Amino acid sequence: MWHEVRGLKDEVDFGTPPRDGPPVTLEIDGVMITVPAGSSVMLAATKADRAIPKLCATDMLEAFGSCRVCLVEIEGRNGFPASCTTPVVEGMKVKTRSETLKRLRKGVLGLYLSDFPQSEIPDGWSEFHETLKAEGITSHPYGEAGANHFDAKVDDSNPYFLFDPTKCIVCSRCVRACAEVQGTFAITIDGRGFESKVVASQDQPFLQSECVSCGACVQACPSHALVEKSLFEGEYKNA
């Protein structure tokens, strides 16, 4: 539905919403692409068939810039800006792939995996798993000896979807979807740092919270921490 509303192609997530402005031409990995002013580098790269890895970004929501997986190199600029929050500029030259970017992305993804069940890495089909595969990551980089949230309980109180916090990467996409798409504000991030976690209302089961079961959070979740119950036969078991 949201692709239709925003005029985007089915099955392609451009990372950030489209803009309506004068044309801007830039170069991405040697490919010339023209997009409306105000567009993100991420959107332009996707249109140029140079899709950039992402986790917190999706074209159904405004850019957030928190996951740091979508880093790029821009000629003439220092550092490695997030492509989702960087607007295009006429004549800009962007590099989406390099050994340095590969190393940085692998390091960031490794940190996400440090609190993600190792048994859930193989055979996953979520966007998170696809990103791991695209970056050549097939195993747990640190093992499971450190602090983690693997004993967190699944919330299956809602009749339509469940929430498995062991698979949550705290990207805030569900929180933003609940606020920006549905306007319910039923989900939030509670705590700080390692203690950060997604909660419904006042840390209640979803069925007892202000959630209206619209499904926006499920659609937005990149790791299948929030997932439709209909996808599973029998009882769901977490790691």
How many structural domains compose the chain? 1
pLDDT at position 26, please?
Answer: 98
In a domain, 227, yes or no: yes
How far is residue 106's CA from residue 122's CA, in Å, rounded to a whole number? 17
pLDDT at position 10, please?
Answer: 58
| Tokens matching residue 205 | 């089961």
Reference 218, options 118, 127, 102, 113; nearest CA is 127
In a domain, 14, yes or no: no
pTM of the model: 0.89
In a domain, 4, yes or no: no
Per-residue pLDDT of the chain (239 residues; tens, 9 = 90+): 334 444 444 578 999 999 999 999 999 999 999 999 999 999 999 999 999 999 999 999 999 999 999 999 999 999 999 999 999 999 999 999 999 999 999 999 999 999 999 888 888 889 999 999 999 998 888 777 788 899 999 999 999 999 999 999 999 999 999 999 999 999 999 999 999 999 999 999 999 999 999 999 999 999 999 999 998 877 776 65
Instruction: Supply the CATH number for residue 192's domain.
Output: 3.30.70.20
In a domain, 212, yes or no: yes
In a domain, 28, yes or no: no
Containing structural domain, residue 193: 161-231
In a domain, 88, yes or no: no
In a domain, 16, yes or no: no
Helix, strand, or coil (residue 40): strand
In a domain, 202, yes or no: yes
pLDDT at position 232, please?
Answer: 80
